[in-house]
Structure 1
Amino acid sequence: MLVLLAGVGAGALNAVGGGGTFVALPALVAAGLPPVTANAAATVALVPGSLSSAWVYRPDVRPVGSTSTRALTAASMGGGAVGAVLLLALPAASFEVAVPWLLAFATVVLAFGRSALRAVSGALGRPLGLSPRAVLVWQFFLSVYGGYFGGAVGILMLAVWSIGVGVDPAAGNPTRVTQVAAVYVAATVLFLFASDVAQAPLLPAVMLVGAVIGGVAGAQVARRLPARVLRGVVLGTAVTMTVVYFLLG
């Protein structure tokens, strides 16, 4: 039941503003999976929820400046695959040590990313005018991080798009959802064949069901609730999980 509820919460958080990793990863570790396997399983479980949210948002998806959605998706999937390879290839102990710090980094991005974005945008007075090639390079490297861990990767994408080409963060949210889904899909293909996820399918399957429910419901709710409320929910979850991981470590 805990894993199912965590899946619902993670799917909803990803739909409203990112942060599903903060719920999914701790729940699977608490259920007995090793951290690396839990991270891979969380990614696999959250794919259908992300795709469900992307389906709801599909009428609102827009290109990022002059960069087509197709090219952006290719960069996202390529980076997600590379990140997944790094997770599986690097020693498990390094990931376990890094998890609290990755959570802390993602929490800081969630807490201050938008304020920093406004400050930088105000100081510049205009977008940097990144070329489509530069946007794709940034997208690839952010997606590598997304495939390896993924916390707050959607917020980082919005920051680059806004500062780089002037994408409004609210208008860019549907594109964020679809690109995070692309990262997860690419990583999932590798995790299913090259990790231990398939050897313990029950927990990811239960979380998957919850994530689909949460993803669809979250996307519908996100289109109605005030942005401040949504950000508060995501940030509260992030801070709580980060503190818990540091205390356990």
Structure 2
Amino acid sequence: MKLKNLLLLVLLMANMQLYAQERSVFRKGYLRLGLNQLGSDLSPNLTPRENIFDGRFGAGTGYVLEQGHIYYFKKNATLINYGLDWTIISLNYNKMDEWENYAMAAGAPNAYVDGTKIAAAASTKLGPVISFNPLEKLVVDLRFQIAPTVRFFDFNYSDGDENTGNDRYFSFTNNAQDDFDGESVKNRIAFGVATNFGITLRRQAIGLSLDYVSGKVNSNYEAYDSKAGNTFGKQKIPAHNLQLKLSFTL
């Protein structure tokens, strides 16, 4: 009986060792959670319209959550592997909460910010990846992805005195057209296609990821200032993201 149990234990340990040997360092599934920086800093020398059109959203540091899978082409690779990296869902969120400081720096009286000041996005990202295993269980992933992106902005800014003609206004809605409900969710959604360059440095399951997402979204807007007058319609607005994330590889 003892001999039988001993043989069973030996077989179990042998199976566990075989599994450990077969488990590749090039793990496939991942979950990433971290910080997101949207756009550039506001410039008090630019109008609200010029700031937004230049990709200056006045957004503080936000958050990003991603889940995805790497489809490797080589099954028994040891040093280098390559394949497709599909970030199935990428969600990010920022608060556009720096406009009060912009108004003070610009010397703008009666500044008023309306809305929840939310800047949020959802995207899926797909593209090639190459992974290196330079030593032990350390792996470096380099990726390039195309990212169709949907964005949502809830933000209105105004300042100045309309009686003197020095007032300024910007909104991600468009109420200037007849029979057009710019406040509806449908008309507050912006869409675009971005590119993503990223790197992940990981050991076994834990690592760090750095990604830079660059692209434009086509958004409704309405604005007024003394330089451009009253403008409205659709505008392709730069929306660049820098993301630093903890990576959990399954």
- TM-score range normalised by the length of the shorter chain: under 0.3
Instruction: Provide TM-score, normalisation by structure 2.
Output: 0.25
Larger radius of gyration: 2
Which structure shows the higher strand fraction? 2
Instruction: Provide TM-score, normalisation by structure 1.
Output: 0.25
